[in-house]
Amino acid sequence: MSPAPAREDLLPVSTGNHCLFCGSRDWTWVYLLGNEPDWIKQLGWTFGWHVFMCDACHDYYEGGDDASLVRAHLNQPEPEADESEAVQWVRVVRARQSEPAIPRAEAIVPGVDDLVREGFTPIENLTGAHELVPLQATFALLMVWALATISRSFGWLAA
Ligand SMILES: [Zn+2]
């Protein structure tokens, strides 16, 4: 992997991510993975610069309850990792975590969650990008506001 980008290049993130372990789209924490110990470079795979967690998995993670994290992953209908891989996932996240978990509200474009609650899909969720460069973030926010305003004025919003 190339050196970790600057922190400001990793934030804000898209709301359209999901919990690494249980797969919930209702993620509430983001972890920045700025560390790259040598043993991880030799794995042949790793995560990107972020992983996301829901409240329940964040609690397991912060409480050191790795077994519950692994179980949360394996309880999904179609887990991506098997048990030994999921155990490794936890180890990799712990080794790469470079700062305390960031709450969702501090990691996303301000205002986007309110619009999501109103039924809008932020444009960045359609791109699959994990993070937004500042210009994209500004653009995404402008787009959701524009769409919200337009559809409100035309009465398209299904209340
Ligand atoms: Zn979870």
Kindly tell me if the per-residue pLDDT of 33 is higher than 90.
yes
* Average confidence (pLDDT) over 81-93: 97
Angstrom distance (rounded) from CA 35 to CA 32: 9
Residue type at position 121: T
Q: Return the percentage of the chain with pLDDT > 90, whole number.
A: 58
Handedness of CA 2, 45, 64, 108 (dihedral sign): positive
Q: pLDDT tens digit string along 113-124?
A: 888 788 877 766
User: Cα 54 to chain center, whole Å?
Assistant: 9
**How is the chain split among helix, strand and coil, in percent rounded to 5?**
45, 10, 45
Peptide bond into 77 cis (omega under 30): no
How far apart are the CA of 24 and the centre of ligand 1, in A?
6
136: tokens are 């994209």
Q: pLDDT tens digit string along 48-80?
A: 999 999 999 999 999 999 999 999 999 999 999
Kindly tell me if the per-residue pLDDT of 84 is higher than 90.
yes
Res 145: pLDDT: 72
How far apart are the CA of 55 and the centre of ligand 1, in A?
7
